[in-house]
């Protein structure tokens, strides 16, 4: 993991655990996210649509075996679901902004259920321009939510009712590679959700995207 990002992630994890440093922890998280968003936006300027769908490491073990388009969809679908359906208890940006049709995505799930060639085919169907509009909207909405959270909110648990509401949305596939997500999310308190989908999850997938980007750029 990038040393700077790892250090920021470690710092924010410690800060949000204590009431006296909680506000600083949110600030550190937002700074980390701004840094990573700059890289995400850089991809758009550096890469072609073909690059976003490329799978140069298709047989590798790790997130770099996927595509950049897939990873970006996956990061922000998970964040949209967690931020809105589980934390804020309101409507996801995907639905508010009619982004499924705008992005031309055949699915509304996190895409965990897709493998190898399925990931490539899925990626080719996406409008990268609209995917980026979705990314920006989700990031901005999550930032607003994070700024409203208090230290007291961190111990909040996901209610059975909220879990059932999430299940009715069909935004997580019933495939065994995906359905575990609901148990994982609903087993966390709000602090736990912030610690993974909103920070570390970004880092892992963006590092994989960088590896793919570098490979694609090296071919030019």
Domain boundaries along the sequence of the chain = 3-218
Q: With 80 as the cut, is the pLDDT of residue 97 above it?
A: yes
| Candidate CATH numbers 1.10.3720.10, 3.40.50.720, 1.20.120.450, 2.130.10.10; the one for domain 3-218 | 1.20.120.450
Question: Of 114, 30, 28, nearest to 77 (Cα)?
Answer: 114
How does residue 1 score in pLDDT terms, banded at 50, 70 and 90?
confident
Is residue 92 within 8 Å of residue 84, measured between CB atoms? yes
Q: What is the pLDDT of residue 185?
A: 95
Is residue 155 within 8 Å of residue 189, measured between CB atoms? yes
How many other β-carbons are positioned within 10 Å of the β-carbon of residue 124?
A: 13
How does residue 190 score in pLDDT terms, banded at 50, 70 and 90?
very high
Q: What is the pLDDT of residue 13?
A: 94
Q: What is the mean pLDDT of the chain?
A: 96
Question: Of 158, 142, 153, 126, nearest to 199 (Cα)?
Answer: 142
Q: What is the pLDDT of residue 220?
A: 81
pLDDT digits (tens, 9 = 90+) for 125-168: 999 999 999 999 999 999 999 999 999 999 999 999 999 999 99
- Please indicate, yes or no, whether the overall pTM of this predicted structure exceeds 0.85: yes
């Amino acid at each position: 993991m990038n040393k700077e990002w790892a250090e920021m992630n470690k710092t924010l994890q410690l800060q949000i655990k204590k009431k006296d440093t909680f506000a600083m922890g949110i600030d550190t998280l937002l700074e980390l996210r701004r840094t990573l968003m700059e890289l995400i936006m850089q991809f758009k300027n550096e890469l072609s649509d073909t690059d976003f769908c490329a799978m140069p490491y298709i047989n590798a073990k790790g997130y770099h075996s996927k595509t950049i388009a897939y990873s970006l969809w996956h990061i922000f679908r998970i964040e949209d679901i967690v931020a809105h359906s589980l934390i804020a208890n309101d409507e996801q940006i995907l639905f508010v902004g009619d982004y499924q049709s705008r992005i031309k995505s055949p699915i509304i799930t996190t895409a965990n259920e897709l493998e190898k060639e399925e990931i490539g085919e899925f990626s080719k169907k996406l409008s990268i321009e609209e995917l980026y509009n979705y990314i920006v909207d989700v990031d901005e909405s999550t930032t607003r939510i994070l700024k409203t959270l208090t230290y007291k909110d961190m111990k909040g648990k996901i209610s059975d009712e909220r879990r059932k509401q999430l299940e009715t949305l069909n935004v997580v596939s019933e495939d065994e590679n995906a359905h575990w997500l609901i148990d994982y999310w609903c087993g966390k308190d709000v602090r736990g959700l912030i610690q993974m989908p909103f920070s570390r999850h970004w880092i892992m997938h963006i590092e994989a995207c960088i590896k793919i980007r570098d490979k694609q750029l090296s071919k030019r």
